[in-house]
Structure 1
Amino acid sequence: MSRPQCPRCLRPTTHCLCALIPSLDSRTRVLLLQHPSEVSHALNTARLAALGLNNAQLVVGEVFDDLATLLNPPGYQARLLFPADDAQPLQVYAPGDLPLLLVVPDGTWRKARKLLHLNPLLAALPRVALADGGISRYRLRKAPGPGALSTVEAIVQALQVMEAPASFELLLKPFEALIEGQIAAMGEEVFQRNHGDGRQE
């Protein structure tokens, strides 16, 4: 029998994260396009980001029929947060800048690339990228390379740059609680063996 689930954060009710999820305003609008395989993932960080940001929307799918509408909210210019040789580095808003619609694909790198392949409008968007060297707090999954961040971490880093000096660190509170809960569930010994840095305490 499945455990009772919080309808908002989709966590088991005994591990509900809603009390830790902030309600943050941002000038930037965030559109999260989530691959269906991520919805039931225990660490669904895109959902945490969407719940914690008032100006955010989470849409699940592989092909988005209403993508043209989603990408063109009045008063915003759309940019895709995804690496590319011609991706522009994110920078702080200048006076008079139109706010960005920051489009964030959510899934493994392979699934995210598939979303771009299946949705040509998405692939055609101008791209922006985070600065190199971001360190993930996601200690449960081997990062595919330096600078690989979870979805919520990437969004926080992007907003911290664009909307400085505003802080979006509170978005990471439920994420960190989620990580701690997963480590506690597996036991410290198993965590150190599989995910630790190899040092014995």
Structure 2
Amino acid sequence: MPAYCRTQIGSPLGNSPLINPLRSKFPKISQTQTLTLRMVSESGSTKRPTCTRCSKPTRICLCNRLKTPTLHNSVAITILQHTLEKNHPLNSTRIATIGLKNTHIITVSDVCFQAQFLIRLLHRSCTLDEVENKDVIDVTIEKKGATSSLSTTNFDQLFSSSNVAYHDLRKGFAVKKLKRKLLSSNEYEESEEFNIAVPSGSVLLFPSEESVDVEDVSFEVKNLIVLDGTWAKAKRMYNENPWLKLLPHIRLDFDKLSLYSEVRRQPRAGYLSTIESVVYALKAVGEDSEGLDGLLDVFESMVGDQRRCKDERLSKVSEL
């Protein structure tokens, strides 16, 4: 018996809010509002006062460590953050959110049963002749990226740079993810996880076989997409989000040791934290470097906090 959908939140072609990194409006924040952002709240689980901006305990709040006001980066930053990374004490994306104005965080979960991706062009004047003249590509995948169904037999050809549809999609597209949770052998629950615009000039920072050095990009980068998670989780996000393969891939070619190396395991030199990757990539594509190094200083201090906390715990254990 075929499975059926018990609950569907959001129509596949409906008008759910579309996150566009190039059209975000940043309201002016008054002094009163700024103070409100820095008020603390009691966490229900830890009972520790926590900063509402950086989500760190108030005694090690990161907000006041920024030497400059929030930077107005001209290149938008879109961070696809794995669900398990959000509350990690060493997650560096929090520094991007408080230090870079034009930053968007999209929460992404693993595919445990199935996920459906609906891809459509942002510009109606574009055509997708290779997709039967439709402006929607429908892809359903299973756990770890195995393809379950496609809306067109020519979908694989979209990843070829010689394909006309490939170049149309490079002009900008929107992607909606509907995740499915299996409830029983013939029943699943469906809900919308994200609906985002991927404008022209978007690139993915990911070291694949197709990636080129960030300094060799021959067009203006307007939107930098970064995967936030452990390297194992980042690879899984990449495999389970087929729309990422439609983007130009860039990489950072250097063997710099991450500041993470003191407290968090990295596969090898050159594998950096999210905030380090963002800062170095922004510099490489021509973003004004003034203030960017200050974000790395905040990150270094956060790593130092974690190292001291670890030493304190070990000291208490040794005293028992």
Q: TM-score, normalised by structure 2?
A: 0.53
Cα distance change on mapping 1:67 and 1:119 into 2, 3 Å = farther
Cα deviation for residue 164 of structure 1 reads 5.9
Distance 2:217 2:286 in 1: 7
Question: Which residue in the other structure is 2:255 paired with?
Answer: 133
Cα deviation for residue 190 of structure 1 reads 5.8
Question: Which residue in the other structure is 1:147 paired with?
Answer: 270
* Number of aligned residues: 186
Question: Which residue in the other structure is 2:238 paired with?
Answer: 116
Deviation track 1:62-95 (CA, whole Å, cap 9, x = no partner) reads 27627663322xxx4111100012211112888x
Give the 5 Å matches for 1:188-199.
none
Larger radius of gyration between Structure 1 and Structure 2: 2
Cα deviation for residue 19 of structure 1 reads 0.7
Which is further off, 115-124 or 82-91? 115-124
Give the 5 Å matches for 1:49-128.
49-62=96-109, 65=177, 69-72=196-199, 76-91=200-215, 97-128=219-250
CA contact (8 A) 1:92 1:161 kept: no
Cα distance change on mapping 1:92 and 1:53 into 2, 3 Å = farther
Distance 1:30 1:165 in 2: 14
Give the structure, 1 or 2, with the largest relative contact order (CA under 8 Å, sep 6 or more): 1
CA contact (8 A) 1:26 1:54 kept: yes
Higher fraction of strand? 2
Give the 5 Å matches for 1:154-173.
154-163=277-286, 166-167=289-290, 168-173=292-297
SS at match of 2:225: strand
Unaligned runs of 5+ in 2: 1-45, 110-114, 116-175, 178-192, 316-320
Deviation track 1:20-40 (CA, whole Å, cap 9, x = no partner) reads 245112221110010000011
Distance 2:311 2:196 in 1: 46
Which is further off, 172-181 or 61-70? 61-70
Deviation track 1:106-147 (CA, whole Å, cap 9, x = no partner) reads 001111122122211123322000012122112212321121
SS at match of 1:58: strand
Residues 1:46 and 2:64 are matched in the alignment: no
Cα distance change on mapping 1:99 and 1:174 into 2, 3 Å = same
Q: TM-score, normalised by structure 1?
A: 0.82
Higher fraction of helix? 1
